[in-house]
Structure 1
């Protein structure tokens, strides 16, 4: 089947111009797609850096807590369960470390003996970090809880207290306030709609910025999201800073916005289970918005230039081709009918005799 071109000279002229514009449209769309990929990689690299930085700060804090509790566990007044001296010591330490919710000394049954803050004597052996410290005889991490005294979200650690013979005589526990992460994340330059979360080992939100109607502090993430956070696939082009401790996933969030999440798992021991997970989620719409804005701007410029070209071609084609051809066709008909006086009126297109002579 042969492709039939329009019979109109003007239409063919416009087709030639459109054929020249089409490759430019293809180039702009291809460039826009490349810009999308570039923006996505840059946004992911930025969130990867922020997530890793915050997680590394927490690891340093956790190490400091371990050193603090292990040092306290060596003191004679702690090993001797001296309630008065320990309470005074803990109170002074809390003044120097305002991010700690409390420091508590427990007996081997989990009963609170000494505290840096006023407290009601109670048994907290049911808490994970206390039970793990007793059963495993090692530094242990807890889960999300609300401080019984401070009434704010905290995360706790515990350390076994051993006497000189290696016998367990007590347990030290301390809690950390989690509100500092909000101030830290507010200082980051992330796209609007970015979500930051800190989860415990059961998937309960300990920190959420910004807090949503369906994603409040103290509530668990969905089972699907929880599984996604354990993904350890690093997209092409991103450096796996934290190897298998870092995960990448794309899923719909509870506010119905699709985000790309980067998660970082924190462990007390290599190969052990994570005790805390940091996540940063970037909305896909925000990632590609900048690239799409550039593409749209280029397409608008091309559209304006194309309209000007078409208008110019229309006017020039009409005066330089269409009108002269019509006059020649009409003159040919007149000559054919015997009118030998017929003229096209296009003398201005014929070089003068003087021009021929000079040539």
Structure 2
């Protein structure tokens, strides 16, 4: 201390300044270190957020795959392992799902049944794949490991799901391969520093995918053990610094994914950023800051040394006078001392600098106040021109203090009126849109928690509309206020409600389509069962004595079988599986000509009224099926009317525009002809309307209806390319509106010529019978033999070729669809050795399936199962009669 006293004032000032500047140095260093840690944390957070985002997207994709495979496992085609149908389904899904590289199905030995990628290798098995083995072992959704997909030739990750039978045993295994490149765009969107990388590894540490692509680090590359240990600890996510696989020191973030909570992780997502790139900005900032600080410190020391060298002695009175003037408010006062370099002159200079600074600040304050005033005026101009409504509330009471013009226009109040009301006046008034709820939201926002919510508001005229409210606290003029922004989202809410309704319609249509496919699928087997029932019963009835009780029993069997046949036809109508006789038709003519039959069918207490628009455009339709639609709709309307009532049948041209199509699923905009049937009956509720077109759904008592009437109507309309909509309210009646595409041109149609039935010759000749169903083959053989024909029978088309070698045959009777060789192919081969050989084709499949195998010239030789003995006899006699004429 004594040494310090002996130092010159110049040295003392220098030492004092150094000690005074020490906190500044420490503060600067601390701030620079904070900047370093902040940039490091931001880079770490960015890497971790990227890994989490990719994990989220991957989990969403995996959940999508799980739901997809679960849905596919319920498809009849999948459960029966129909190769062709499955391949078609998988290809359709792949076209609509770019995130999947392949979808396939394999049997329990690993042999591929079908995939969505064509063509397949000659021998293709997944027996050795982990996802296949785990799916069979655990009987649940499973995941694979790093493999090169044999189907697409790329590294990928597979997921599998077993298809189980009723006992829980696997029938087959569905699998799907995800496209790992889907994460590229998400990774790029994070805007990470250059040379950042994404690594995906499986549970063994094998690299599944690396982005951007790298010459060495790619699919199949094994992770380093030390890096592997960093990501296999107790945490499912985290970040650390280490040397990456490419030898570069990196900041790495990881995220582990599990397929099931009770299983080990199957995928490790690792995002890495080069440490040099991540911290380049802050390092540059530190270097520049240090340089500036050192330069400033050196400059300060130099200036201090110069000032300390000046004189300190100066007239005290002059300095005191200047001080007194400043005290009195004269900031323009100066010491007037020359700066000779001593301590006193330095003090005078500091004083003058101080007064000059205060004077400058005063002027700056005056300028700032002027700028603040201009800013407030600018704020109010912007405030009033904002398109969103803005309300400024008092923090304590919630009272409205100010609003902009958009608020006045949105709610219908003037500025003064809006400032005089409370939130209750512009609220719907019911929970959760009351004054109480609004004040609760305000309280949260006032406590520093910004609020964002949707709110049902009330206009001054009483109509309600939706707004999106953003609420936060802000300082206005130094006072804390609550700022509320309200944006009108009525159109968006209405769009969300179109969209929900449209999705419900689409789901209903898809459900109906699935039931339709099921109805068509059972037709073949059911028809094959009915064929021998009808045939043998008919034969037994013919063989029984005329007055035998057996005749009546056989007739009852036949009546029941024909009712079953009609039931199948109704199911086929719903499933759109029948062959229609489509012609240009005048809907008015069909309704008018059928009206008398309808009046005789419907009870007399109901008045049928026709409102037919004249000069109606034509439609392409099957007249018989349009009549069936009318009959079903009017009978249903009759059942809905208790006592007297009215049924109206109306036709009219309509245009279904883009707006209508947006509200109704599967509607193509354009010109249509409308057929409407309305009644004054009991009506239906919403739940009933959702099911009326489903087969076997009925609101009638047991035994009063099959539940197929409206299902048939739905199927026929859809097969005509039209749409059907129902409008009903309980107690207000029902109206069905059917829209058929309009036919603009009316082509010239050929006159139909009547074809006389051929004479039935004597039953003789040799017939080759080829049918793979034993019961049907036995029945037809007995029918033919009983009629006098010589029958050669077999269940194998190839065997049939050898059976007739060297023999003369007059007619071939064959099933259309058989294993190894179909009926038309068999006929073509027989024609090479039996020129002119006639043929009768038969099938239990639906007409629209059969026409895929038969030429147009062969359709006249086709008979649909089930058939009667008389129908088959007439068909054979007609064809053989034509042959012998």
Q: Same fold (TM over 0.5)?
A: yes
**Alpha-carbon contact 2:162-2:174 (below 8 Å) kept:** yes
In the superposition, relative to structure 1, how do residues 211 and 89 fare at CA in structure 2: closer, same or farther (>3 Å)?
closer
Structure 2 counterpart of 1:253: 244
**Deviation (angstroms), 1:293:** 3.3
Q: Give deviations 1:25-54, integer Å, cap 9, x for gaps.
A: 222111212222222223222322221111
Paired with 1:84 and 1:217, the residues of 2 have a C-alpha distance of 33
**Alpha-carbon contact 1:79-1:161 (below 8 Å) kept:** yes
Q: Give deviations 1:210-239, integer Å, cap 9, x for gaps.
A: 34454233202101111111234xxxxxxx
Structure 1 counterpart of 2:134: 132
Q: Give deviations 1:107-126, integer Å, cap 9, x for gaps.
A: 11001121222111322110
**Deviation (angstroms), 1:55:** 0.2
**Alpha-carbon contact 1:191-1:287 (below 8 Å) kept:** yes
Paired with 1:110 and 1:47, the residues of 2 have a C-alpha distance of 40
**Deviation (angstroms), 1:23:** 3.0
Structure 2 counterpart of 1:119: 120
Structure 2 segments unaligned to the other structure (5+ residues): 313-339, 343-885
**Deviation (angstroms), 1:143:** 1.4
Query: Does 2:61 correspond to 1:40?
Result: no
Structure 2 counterpart of 1:50: 50
Query: Does 2:276 correspond to 1:285?
Result: yes
SS at match of 1:126: coil
**Alpha-carbon contact 1:36-1:287 (below 8 Å) kept:** no
In the superposition, relative to structure 1, how do residues 15 and 214 fare at CA in structure 2: closer, same or farther (>3 Å)?
farther
Structure 2 counterpart of 1:324: none
Give aligned pairs, total: 312
Q: Give deviations 1:71-105, integer Å, cap 9, x for gaps.
A: 11112221111112111221222111222222211
Paired with 1:320 and 1:255, the residues of 2 have a C-alpha distance of 66
Paired with 1:348 and 1:95, the residues of 2 have a C-alpha distance of 88
Paired with 2:18 and 2:216, the residues of 1 have a C-alpha distance of 51
Q: If you compute each CA radius of gyration, which structure gives the higher value, 1 or 2?
A: 2
**Alpha-carbon contact 1:250-1:258 (below 8 Å) kept:** yes
Query: Does 2:141 correspond to 1:150?
Result: no
SS at match of 1:179: helix
Paired with 1:320 and 1:24, the residues of 2 have a C-alpha distance of 29
Structure 2 counterpart of 1:309: 300
Paired with 1:6 and 1:227, the residues of 2 have a C-alpha distance of 65
SS at match of 1:196: strand
Paired with 2:262 and 2:241, the residues of 1 have a C-alpha distance of 25
In the superposition, relative to structure 1, how do residues 285 and 6 fare at CA in structure 2: closer, same or farther (>3 Å)?
farther
Q: Which moved more, 1:95-104 or 1:293-302?
A: 293-302
Structure 2 counterpart of 1:357: none
**Alpha-carbon contact 1:212-1:255 (below 8 Å) kept:** no
**Alpha-carbon contact 1:6-1:12 (below 8 Å) kept:** no
Structure 2 counterpart of 1:24: 24
In the superposition, relative to structure 1, how do residues 229 and 32 fare at CA in structure 2: closer, same or farther (>3 Å)?
same
Please provide the CA RMSD for this pair: 2.8
**Alpha-carbon contact 1:28-1:295 (below 8 Å) kept:** no
Q: After TM superposition, list the pairs within 5 Å mapping 1:46-195 onto structure 2.
A: 46-117=46-117, 118-120=119-121, 121-195=123-197
Q: Give deviations 1:240-287, integer Å, cap 9, x for gaps.
A: xxxx42233332213333333221111111131111111122333344
For 1:297, which of 275, 288, 304 is the aligned residue? Answer: 288
Paired with 1:33 and 1:66, the residues of 2 have a C-alpha distance of 48
**Deviation (angstroms), 1:319:** 4.7
Q: Which moved more, 1:176-185 or 1:244-253?
A: 244-253
**Alpha-carbon contact 2:308-2:341 (below 8 Å) kept:** no
TM-score, normalising length from structure 2? Answer: 0.33
Paired with 2:277 and 2:256, the residues of 1 have a C-alpha distance of 26
**Deviation (angstroms), 1:145:** 2.1
Paired with 2:29 and 2:147, the residues of 1 have a C-alpha distance of 51
**Deviation (angstroms), 1:10:** 6.2
Q: Give deviations 1:302-332, integer Å, cap 9, x for gaps.
A: 22222222222333344548xxxxxxxxxxx
Query: Does 2:187 correspond to 1:196?
Result: no
Paired with 1:20 and 1:9, the residues of 2 have a C-alpha distance of 16
**Alpha-carbon contact 1:78-1:86 (below 8 Å) kept:** yes
Q: After TM superposition, list the pairs within 5 Å mapping 1:237-252 onto structure 2.
A: 244-252=235-243
TM-score, normalising length from structure 1? Answer: 0.78
SS at match of 2:44: helix
**Deviation (angstroms), 1:60:** 1.0
Structure 1 segments unaligned to the other structure (5+ residues): 233-243, 322-346, 350-359
**Deviation (angstroms), 1:7:** 7.5
**Alpha-carbon contact 1:181-1:207 (below 8 Å) kept:** no
**Alpha-carbon contact 2:242-2:249 (below 8 Å) kept:** yes
In the superposition, relative to structure 1, how do residues 112 and 193 fare at CA in structure 2: closer, same or farther (>3 Å)?
same
**Alpha-carbon contact 2:101-2:178 (below 8 Å) kept:** yes
Paired with 1:122 and 1:57, the residues of 2 have a C-alpha distance of 31
Q: Give deviations 1:159-193, integer Å, cap 9, x for gaps.
A: 11122332212111111111111222111122334
In the superposition, relative to structure 1, how do residues 75 and 250 fare at CA in structure 2: closer, same or farther (>3 Å)?
same
* Structure showing greater relative contact order (alpha-carbon pairs closer than 8 Å, 6 or more residues apart): 1
**Deviation (angstroms), 1:348:** 12
SS at match of 1:270: coil
Structure 2 counterpart of 1:236: none
Paired with 2:84 and 2:9, the residues of 1 have a C-alpha distance of 104
Structure 1 counterpart of 2:254: 263
